[in-house]
Structure 1
């Protein structure tokens, strides 16, 4: 298994009850479970993962569903410009412009095995390209499309940086 460092799994995270909702400014709200994600086209990529805590996990191989494929099925409203990606723990959320989020992968495997819950399984958002570590949302439970950048609800950076202070 990879050398990606796990954090404690919050009590509110129940991998057996996991589901993903695509909500908000969409024509068709979606709910997907693990089997539904596994039935969608997937892609695989390898990249290093650097954390603000000072460690780097090299050559991680992720397999998952391109977020743009999910968004396409939900048919975003013309007014939708951003999305708030929420974790199953109810506290962690990160906002993205829709164009950038569409390129990210909702990973269901890490290094050829199902993504363990301690690493964000059953599904973790993994941005492609340049990204800060806090943008990789574990236990993704909801992608809410909105018509403006969400500020106060975007907790990811503050929570991540609080771990290193």
Structure 2
């Protein structure tokens, strides 16, 4: 398996009960499980993963659904400009402009196998291009579209960076 480091899996994370909601400023709210995601077109890409903790996992191969494909099915309203991506644990969230989030992948596999829970399975947000490691949200349970940029309190950056200190 990969060289990704792991942190404890929060008690609130139950891979068997996992569901993904696409909510908020959309024409059709969505509710999906892993089997639903598997019916969508998938993409595979290989990239290094660098963490602010100082380690690098090289040549990870991710496979998943382009977030833009999910958003297209939900039909963002004309007012939707940003999204909050929330983890299943209820505490971790990250905000993104819709344009940037659309390019990200919701990974369901890592290195040819189902994404393990300790690495964010069953679904982990993997931003493409330049990204901070804390933007790779594990256990994604909700993508909420909103009509304005979320505030600093709506990001997990402080949680992630607290692990470095």
Matches within 5 A, 1:42-121: 42-121=42-121
Q: Which runs of no fewer than 5 residues in structure 1 stay unpaired?
A: none
Partner-residue secondary structure (3-state), 1:37:
helix
TM-fit CA distance, 1:156: 1.2
TM-fit CA distance, 1:93: 0.2
How many Å separate the matches in 2 of 1:91 and 1:146? 18
Partner of 2:141: 141
TM-fit CA distance, 1:154: 2.0
How many Å separate the matches in 1 of 2:32 and 2:116? 18
Work out whether 1:13 is the aligned partner of 2:42.
no
1:106·1:123 contact (CA, 8 Å) conserved in 2? Answer: yes
TM-fit CA distance, 1:107: 0.1
TM-fit CA distance, 1:31: 0.3
Partner-residue secondary structure (3-state), 1:130:
coil
How many Å separate the matches in 1 of 2:25 and 2:153? 16
Q: What value does the CA root-mean-square deviation take over the aligned residues? A: 0.6
Matches within 5 A, 1:120-139: 120-139=120-139
How many Å separate the matches in 1 of 2:52 and 2:37? 30
How many Å separate the matches in 1 of 2:28 and 2:147? 16
Partner of 2:158: 158
Number of equivalent positions: 165
TM-fit CA distance, 1:153: 4.1
Normalised TM-score (structure 2)? 0.99
Q: Which runs of no fewer than 5 residues in structure 2 stay unpaired?
A: none
How many Å separate the matches in 2 of 1:36 and 1:153? 31
